[in-house]
Structure 1
Amino acid sequence: MSRQLFTVIFGFLIAFMASAQENLPFKIEQITRFDEPWSMAFLPDGRMLVTEKKGRLLIVSQQGEKWLVGGVPDVDYGGQGGLGDVALHPDFASNKLVYLSYAEAGVGGVRGAAVARGTLVEEGRRALLKNLEVIWRQYPKVVGYGHYGHRLVFDDNKHLWISSGDRQKFTPSQDMQSSMGKILRLYDDGSVPNDNPFVNYRQENAFVDDEGVYPQIWSLGHRNPLGMAFDLTGKLWVIEMGPAGGDELNLIKRAANYGYPVVSNGKHYDGRPIPDHSTRPEFAAPAISWTPVISPADLIVYRGNLFADWRGDALAAGLTAQGIVRIRFDGEKATEAARYNMGSRIRKVTEGPDGALWVLEDERAQSEGRLLKLTPGNR
């Protein structure tokens, strides 16, 4: 391709992207920037906790002022690993408990995801996590820097749900003696609820009685689940990256097996095929599958009134898609309703106290690690 032709094509693409962004149904306000931001959660007073992969936790005002929080665990930074998700205990107003997920180094070059909690203490502009304790560790630790998953969400009964990636090792997703490639359900202190599928295995939809089963498992056969959210009726949805094609949105059911790596609607990166879900009906099929991929990085269900037409819809952060994907639910079914081009890789979408949307860019390629605020109206 000649340099002149390349210049023409590149100019056309830039103009096309700019035109697409002009038609967005919201206004975009840039608030501040971060160094490799990964997640955020709103405090009751309207400030945010924001994580950066290299290991910093910050309190951030809605005007972009920042305070560093001390007492954060040491993280194993590299590849997809580092400081990950942040979540507040449902009773945070009274107990001040903050939950963090992160990549943790082991002995001999292995590593795995972990979750710790600590009490947030503030004195003026000084903030600290005190009494930090690790309540969960991905088992086993393995070599490599990918597919930690480690999203965190609480349900209405104060159970802590953790998404645990397959660490790019494939087979652990089907191994009941590993917590990799699973969705896990715990009490808020990391202990195992007595009505989990294995612990109370005589219930319907339970795992076979086997002392080797990892008791925290709720579902299995996942690859890299990077978003979890409960819909307005209490159903849990998980969005995960597929291999080469086949990103998935799954409705999570007790003791269900979602098939990876036995089945997938994508294929291996080296071109080797993987049987589609349709070939193995015993595995739960995704509600939505994306090829080309969107590379989902997060999922929320919108509960506010500011974007009134979106209430009850899911919003997925897209890395490859460089935007936000809106998903509409119909019982146990889901469809893509719209896609909003942000012109950058989107790592996290969070709903603010007033219903505005707060967005973290992924600091790669065209992205700048910005914090953006979205409100209704044309750009």
Structure 2
Amino acid sequence: MIGAVVAAETSDYQTKVVVKGLDNPWSIAFISNNDWLVTERSGALRRIINGQLDVNPVAGVPDVLYAGQGGLSEIFLHPKFDVNRFVYLSFSAADTTDRKGNALVIVRGRLQGNKLSDVTTIFKSDPLRKTAAHYGARIQFLADGTMLITSGDGFNYREQAQSLDNHFGKLLRLNDDGSIPSDNPFLSTPGALPEIWSYGHRNPQGLIIAKDGTVFEHEHGPKGGDELNIIQPGKNYGWPAITYGVDYSGATISPFTEKPGMEQPIKYWVPSIAPSDMVLYQGAMFPQWVGSLFVSALVPGDVRRLAMSENKVISEDIMFSEFGRIRSIAEAPDGSLILAVDGNEGSLIRVSADSP
């Protein structure tokens, strides 16, 4: 459903630039309320302590392929980070034997001071791609300690999103060390890759897991047809066999918006908003927002607050449109929202309650 869209009132919050001069910030993680990590797509992992950007990037980050839409993407802390110090990074990387090919890679390392150690590759997408686009690259952990990874269709490989023998256009489920959980949905399917959890996706860049286990995902459509989905294991989400969008040339990708055996989005956007990240707000700072999904967007550049009821979108407000392209949104431990503004002079914006 599309539904009505309204501009939000600005009287409930204030915004402040926390950090400037970031090179295409992509993802944010919070060690504490005063100690943040942020990725720069050009390849650096940066630390922000007490609102100040450390001039020295975190050491030990692997080399990335910084091209097109590729580069250093997600930073995610292990659920038991306070004990094991594990962090996860997603990025695009050139293949070591076929330099024309590249892949989505996930590594795990231990953050010790301002350095990553014991860095291990736990996932590499297969087959290789020759494009530098549509990586997905989001990470989330389920309550059982397994992790979900979004893997995009590589732009030129969209038909493979409907096949189970590759990683294009998939959500994947792994144990925290990269091994395969014993209850993944396609373990007994001949020819299927055992890590696949769902399929038929385009470029999924929003992934959130609610306290009740509901998995919300959003993905870029082509020209129109951005989607917000509730993901269930083993399900087919249709791309490119069904879509609410058309090709960038205006040509038809599929005449169908629905087919038997393929899931429908709970919301879609026409025209596209280019959804880039998402948070399910649970903080104490804005009680009126608890339970809302906040979707950051690149086109024209804003955040959509989606009020939810029984996993359905009941209203949509446009917020923070004054900052341009919003690459990421995250909820800080104190309940404030942090926006990552895209670009080679990117910034972080803190959204907080008005001072009394």
Under a length normalisation based on structure 2, what TM-score does the superposition of the two structures give?
0.92
Q: Is the 8 A contact 1:316 1:349 kept in 2?
A: yes
Any idea what the Cα deviations from partners look like across 1:95-126, whole Å, max 9, x if unmatched?
0001000001011311111000101111xxxx
Q: Is the 8 A contact 2:228 2:268 kept in 1?
A: yes
> Which structure exhibits the higher relative contact order, with contacts defined as CA atoms closer than 8 Å and separated by 6 or more residues?
2
> How far is 1:313 from its partner?
1.2
**Per the alignment, in what secondary structure is the counterpart of residue 191 of structure 1?**
coil
1:77 counterpart = 2:54? no
> How far is 1:277 from its partner?
5.4
Q: Is the 8 A contact 1:37 1:52 kept in 2?
A: yes
Q: Distance in 2 between matches of 1:45 and 1:308?
A: 19
Q: Is the 8 A contact 1:152 1:160 kept in 2?
A: yes
1:121 counterpart = 2:121? no
Any idea what the Cα deviations from partners look like across 1:106-154, whole Å, max 9, x if unmatched?
11311111000101111xxxx1100100000111111011000110111
Among 266, 277, 280, the residue aligned to 1:301 = 280
1:369 counterpart = 2:346? yes
1:329 counterpart = 2:316? no
Look up the match of 1:86: 75
Q: Distance in 2 between matches of 1:307 and 1:171?
A: 43
Look up the match of 2:4: none
Among 150, 167, 170, the residue aligned to 2:158 = 170
> How far is 1:23 from its partner?
3.6
Do the aligned partners of residues 335 and 167 (structure 1) sit closer, same or farther apart at CA in structure 2, a change above 3 Å counting? farther
Give the partner amino acid of 2:42.
K
1:43 counterpart = 2:21? no
Q: Distance in 1 between matches of 2:237 and 2:17?
A: 39
Look up the match of 1:287: 266
1:267 counterpart = 2:246? yes
Among 142, 149, 154, the residue aligned to 2:141 = 154
Any idea what the Cα deviations from partners look like across 1:57-88, whole Å, max 9, x if unmatched?
01112422324210001100011000000000
**Per the alignment, in what secondary structure is the counterpart of residue 69 of structure 1?**
coil
Give the partner amino acid of 1:149.
G
Q: Distance in 1 between matches of 2:78 and 2:218?
A: 23
Do the aligned partners of residues 173 and 35 (structure 1) sit closer, same or farther apart at CA in structure 2, a change above 3 Å counting? same
Among 206, 210, 214, the residue aligned to 1:231 = 210
Look up the match of 1:61: 49
Q: Distance in 2 between matches of 1:291 and 1:348?
A: 21
Give the partner amino acid of 1:101.
S
Q: Is the 8 A contact 1:24 1:341 kept in 2?
A: no
Do the aligned partners of residues 291 and 135 (structure 1) sit closer, same or farther apart at CA in structure 2, a change above 3 Å counting? same
Look up the match of 1:16: none
> How far is 1:320 from its partner?
0.2
**Per the alignment, in what secondary structure is the counterpart of residue 276 of structure 2?**
strand
**Per the alignment, in what secondary structure is the counterpart of residue 370 of structure 1?**
strand
Look up the match of 1:206: none
Look up the match of 2:196: 217
Q: Structure 1: 5+ residue runs without aligned partners?
A: 1-19, 202-208
Do the aligned partners of residues 288 and 335 (structure 1) sit closer, same or farther apart at CA in structure 2, a change above 3 Å counting? farther
Q: Distance in 2 between matches of 1:299 and 1:230?
A: 10
**Per the alignment, in what secondary structure is the counterpart of residue 157 of structure 1?**
coil
Under a length normalisation based on structure 1, what TM-score does the superposition of the two structures give?
0.87
Q: Distance in 2 between matches of 1:158 and 1:259?
A: 28
> How far is 1:21 from its partner?
9.1
Look up the match of 1:351: 331
RMSD (Å) for aligned C-alpha atoms:
1.7
Identity level (%)? 36
Give the partner amino acid of 1:142.
R
Q: Is the 8 A contact 2:158 2:239 kept in 1?
A: yes
Do the aligned partners of residues 297 and 358 (structure 1) sit closer, same or farther apart at CA in structure 2, a change above 3 Å counting? same
Look up the match of 1:144: 131
Q: Distance in 2 between matches of 1:21 and 1:239?
A: 22
Alignment of 1:310-329 (within 5 A): 310-329=289-308
Do the aligned partners of residues 337 and 68 (structure 1) sit closer, same or farther apart at CA in structure 2, a change above 3 Å counting? same
> How far is 1:254 from its partner?
1.3
> How far is 1:371 from its partner?
0.7
Q: Distance in 1 between matches of 2:238 and 2:315?
A: 22
Alignment of 1:184-203 (within 5 A): 184-199=172-187, 201=188
Any idea what the Cα deviations from partners look like across 1:223-257, whole Å, max 9, x if unmatched?
00001001232200101000010000000011110
Q: Distance in 2 between matches of 1:243 and 1:267?
A: 6
Q: Structure 2: 5+ residue runs without aligned partners?
A: 1-6
Look up the match of 1:9: none
Of Structure 1 and Structure 2, which has the larger fraction of its residues in helix? Answer: 1
Q: Distance in 1 between matches of 2:220 and 2:63?
A: 27
